[in-house]
Amino acid sequence: MAIRLSRRQALVAASTLLLAGCGGAPTGGSGGGPGEVVLWYETGLPIADTLTSLVARYNATKPATPVVAQPQPDLSVKLLVVIGAHDAPNIVIYPRSRAWELVSRGVAFPLTDFARRDGVTADAFSPGFWAGGVLKNQLWGLPLGADANILAYNAKLLAEAKVQPAPYWSTSAFLAACAALVKRDSSGHLIQTGAIFDPSVPFAVWLWQQGADILSADLKTPAFNNAAGLKALNWLLASQQTNGGAPEIGRLVSLTTLTGGINGVFNHAKLGTMPSTFSGFYRLKAQTPQVAMHAATLPTIDGGQPATASDIIYAFSPQQATAPNPEGTWQFIRWLATDADAQNAMFGGGIIPALLTAQRSPAIASDPDAQVMLQALKVARTPQDALWEPEVASSLQQEVQKALNGQATAQQALTDASNQGLKTIQADMKLGE
């Protein structure tokens, strides 16, 4: 079955998924052959060094089929092309939110029989993570890990402002903390900010806290142009106003911000709070940062529900390939998901991949920041399973940014995003007929 290449392929999810495929030709394609398992990952992937080290460790066990790791620029577009040409690699680091498009279009190979044969069951994983890999009663992806967006905050700045930190912020408490941290010079210029929002944190987080969603229950219409959506967007606008307006809020924040800062804009002495994922937070924490960094959940809109964006690392196999090697691929997938040392190297003690097991770990029990992360994952929401959901969500994100930049009112942004989303859904439904 051919894969329709659409504007959706440019969408990038917040976290990653492990996509297992099949070895291809030595040149011009996957770069592998039938005697090896080829792993692709995006050039610059934060866990790239760890991943390549794990591949070397796995190969040292002398498996029947060794693994070769290869970085790839423009991975999203290239992967769709090589799968369509029946020349996919064996394993690809890839977002679940895009990978399910391949599953739903029938190009994936089920892992159910492999898992049943080798006794790999849901018992070793968080039930929600396992269920996320199941579609139409088949296991398509073995869960390896997940990321949830959460706040990493500068505890020193909060203490200096006499703000008592909390693991779970309410909207009013969070805005009060932001206001206490904001400082301006004699000319009124912002010299210390209370909060920085990373644009990669989706607006869906705030929708979920109000009980709303991107799509309706039947997945056929946008579901955010309502009172819940308006309340969520107005909260973002209010938080932005507290912190000095669009030029200061919405600026991309990198993982180096808490340690090195952004030259001339926000450094470690000025930063109040920022959204982070589990993997980003733990990498920073392990680097002995220059600020006293701790974790808290994203602020819950008053009267709303706990919610955070989450994506899960999985492994699954496309059927289109010139040199299938499902057994060799499965063996590495299973090792990566169940080997304690591998989990520890990738995810700081397996906090994410084996959530239930991690909660029984003494190291986790004594780490309050880890407990906040675990709680965030328990309430995290994953994308809705519809081919058009990522594109509708992207349109909403773009319109919300217009409201934050003062180019549209909150209501106008939601209305425009809803109208655009409905056209996308109708067009995609027609193409799928």
Confidence band, pLDDT 50/70/90 cuts, at residue 103: confident
Q: Identify whether the C-beta of residue 140 lies closer than 8 Å to the C-beta of residue 103.
A: yes
Averaged pLDDT, 273-300: 74
Given the structure tokens 């926000």, which residue do they identify? 266
Domain boundary among 379, 395, 422: 379
Predicted local distance difference test score (pLDDT) of residue 22 = 46
Specify the pTM.
0.71
Q: Is 3 inside a domain boundary?
A: no
Query: 31-40, 51-60, 154-163, 314-323: lowest mean pLDDT where?
Result: 314-323
- Inform me whether the pLDDT recorded for 47 exceeds 70: no
Output the CA angle 292-296-297, nearest 5 degrees: 160
Looking at the structure of the chain, the number of domains it has is: 2
According to DSSP, the residues that pair with 184 across neighbouring strands are 190
Predicted local distance difference test score (pLDDT) of residue 407 = 94
Which range has highest mean pLDDT (192-201, 290-299, 414-423)?
Answer: 414-423
Q: Is 62 inside a domain boundary?
A: yes
State whether 404 and 265 are in the same domain: yes
Predicted local distance difference test score (pLDDT) of residue 310 = 73
Give the E-state strand segments of 193-305 in sequence order: 273-276, 293-300
Q: Identify whether the C-beta of residue 168 lies closer than 8 Å to the C-beta of residue 179.
A: no
What is the residue-wise DSSP string for 293-338? EEEEEEEEPTT-----BEEEE---EES--SB--HHHHHHHHHHHHH
State whether 87 and 106 are in the same domain: yes
Distance CA 109, CA 319 (A): 6
Given the structure tokens 């299973």, which residue do they identify? 334
State whether 275 and 421 are in the same domain: yes
State whether 230 and 131 are in the same domain: no
C-alpha distance from residue 68 to each of 40, 86, 292 (Å): 9, 19, 39
Q: Is 2 inside a domain boundary?
A: no
Q: Is 1 inside a domain boundary?
A: no
CA neighbor of 223 nearest in space, from 13, 8, 421, 424: 421
Query: 114-123, 217-226, 250-259, 341-350: lowest mean pLDDT where?
Result: 250-259
Percent pLDDT > 90 in the chain is: 18
State whether 356 and 246 are in the same domain: no
CA neighbor of 307 nearest in space, from 240, 368, 354, 375: 375
CA neighbor of 235 nearest in space, from 305, 174, 153: 174
Given the structure tokens 């050039």, which residue do they identify? 43
Expressed as residue numbers, the domain containing 413 is: 150-307+387-432
Q: Identify whether the C-beta of residue 245 lies closer than 8 Å to the C-beta of residue 276.
A: no
Q: Identify whether the C-beta of residue 242 lies closer than 8 Å to the C-beta of residue 194.
A: yes
According to DSSP, the residues that pair with 147 across neighbouring strands are 311
Averaged pLDDT, 91-113: 73
State whether 123 and 37 are in the same domain: yes
DSSP state of 415: H
Which range has highest mean pLDDT (111-125, 264-278, 334-348)?
Answer: 111-125
State whether 168 and 274 are in the same domain: yes
Distance CA 338, CA 335 (A): 5
Predicted local distance difference test score (pLDDT) of residue 230 = 96
- Inform me whether the pLDDT recorded for 415 exceeds 90: yes
Residues 6+ apart with CB under 8 A from 106: 1
State whether 276 and 419 are in the same domain: yes
State whether 265 and 404 are in the same domain: yes
State whether 245 and 359 are in the same domain: no
Q: Is 105 inside a domain boundary?
A: yes
- What is the domain-level CATH number for residue 303? 3.40.190.10
State whether 143 and 156 are in the same domain: no
Percent pLDDT > 70 in the chain is: 69
- Inform me whether the pLDDT recorded for 118 exceeds 90: yes
Query: 39-48, 158-167, 240-249, 347-356: lowest mean pLDDT where?
Result: 347-356
Predicted local distance difference test score (pLDDT) of residue 387 = 76
DSSP state of 380: -
Q: Is 129 inside a domain boundary?
A: yes
Distance CA 367, CA 344 (A): 16
Is residue 8 helix, strand or coil? helix
State whether 208 and 335 are in the same domain: no
Confidence band, pLDDT 50/70/90 cuts, at residue 308: confident
Please count the other Cβ atoms lying within 10 Å of the Cβ belonging to residue 210: 22
Confidence band, pLDDT 50/70/90 cuts, at residue 318: low
Q: Is 404 inside a domain boundary?
A: yes
Output the CA angle 234-280-148, nearest 5 degrees: 50
Distance CA 154, CA 291 (A): 6
Phi, psi angles (nearest 5°) of residue 128:
-65, -35
- Inform me whether the pLDDT recorded for 388 exceeds 80: yes
Confidence band, pLDDT 50/70/90 cuts, at residue 224: very high
Predicted local distance difference test score (pLDDT) of residue 89 = 81
Given the structure tokens 């600026």, which residue do they identify? 251
Q: Is 244 inside a domain boundary?
A: yes
Distance CA 202, CA 397 (A): 7
Tokens read off for 5: 């290449």
